[in-house]
Chains A and B, each alone.
Chain A
Amino acid sequence: SYVLTQPPSVSVAPGQTARITCGGNNIGSKSVHWYQQKPGQAPVLVVYDDSDRPSGIPERFSGSNSGNTATLTISRVEAGDEADYYCQVWDSSSDHLHWVFGGGTKLTVL
Chain B
Amino acid sequence: EVQLVESGGGLVQPGGSLRLSCAASGFSFSSYEVNWVRQAPGKGLEWVSYISGSGTTIYYADYVKGRFTISRDNAKNSLYLQMNSLRAEDTAVYYCARDGRGYYDSSGYYHKGGHDYWGQGTLVTVSS
Contact string against A for B residues 109-126, beta-carbon threshold 8 Å, 1 for contact and 0 otherwise = 011111110111100000
A99 close to B35 (CB less than 8 A) = yes
B95 close to A98 (CB less than 8 A) = no
Q: Residues of A contacting B121 with CB < 8 Å?
A: 42
Docked complex Cα distance between A88 and B110 (Å): 16
**Number of A residues, CB within 8 Å of B:** 27
Docked complex Cα distance between A47 and B44 (Å): 18
B44 close to A42 (CB less than 8 A) = no
Asked if A104 meets B45 with Cβ closer than 8 Å, knowing A42-B120, A90-B112, the reply is yes
A48 close to B114 (CB less than 8 A) = yes
B45 close to A49 (CB less than 8 A) = no
Query: In the assembled complex, how far is the CB of residue B30 from the closest CB belonging to chain A, in whole angstroms?
Result: 21
Which chain B residues in 76-128 approach chain A with CB under 8 Å?
95, 97, 100, 103, 110-116, 118-121
Residue B46 interfacial (CB < 8 Å) = yes
Could you say which interface size class chain B belongs to? 20 to 34
Asked if A101 meets B115 with Cβ closer than 8 Å, knowing A42-B95, A42-B120, A48-B100, the reply is no
Asked if A99 meets B47 with Cβ closer than 8 Å, knowing A42-B95, A42-B121, A49-B111, the reply is yes
B113 close to A98 (CB less than 8 A) = no
Asked if A42 meets B118 with Cβ closer than 8 Å, knowing A48-B113, A98-B59, the reply is yes
A98 close to B112 (CB less than 8 A) = no
Q: Residues of A contacting B118 with CB < 8 Å?
A: 42-44
Asked if A45 meets B59 with Cβ closer than 8 Å, knowing A98-B47, A98-B50, A104-B45, the reply is no
Residue B61 interfacial (CB < 8 Å) = yes
Residue A54 interfacial (CB < 8 Å) = yes
Contact string against B for A residues 81-104, beta-carbon threshold 8 Å, 1 for contact and 0 otherwise = 000101010101000111111111
A101 close to B47 (CB less than 8 A) = yes
